[in-house]
Amino acid sequence: MSAAIERIEEEFRKLAPQEQVEAFERFAKTIYGEETENPELIAKLDRRLAQIEAGAVSGRDAFEVLDELSAKRSR
């Protein structure tokens, strides 16, 4: 990974969760262009968020999950 990407990741981790969401959306738009809404995906995300907020399920740190996936891929 380049030093620039490492710096971006380091700064990204310092952001508040809502700021991370906003940054991610901007990065995604840069990569994929303007977003197209997917009603099914939005509904699923809304349901998952409601479950987390209600305490029915717990979330995991996205960076930990990505690290685990990366480790599995490199085996």
> Would you call 12 exposed, middle or buried from its count of C-beta atoms within 10 A (0-12, 13-18, 19+)?
middle
**Token pair for residue 34?**
């303007």
Q: Where are the domains of the chain?
A: 1-35, 37-75
Model pLDDT, residue 58: 87
Please report, as a single letter, which amino acid is at residue 60: R
pLDDT in tens, 40-55: 888 998 999 999 999 9
User: Smallest Cα–Cα separation from 18: which of 10, 6, 26, 9?
Assistant: 26
Overall average pLDDT of the 51-67 stretch: 90
Q: What is the pLDDT of residue 59?
A: 84
Report the distance separating Cα 61 and Cα 36, nearest Å: 26
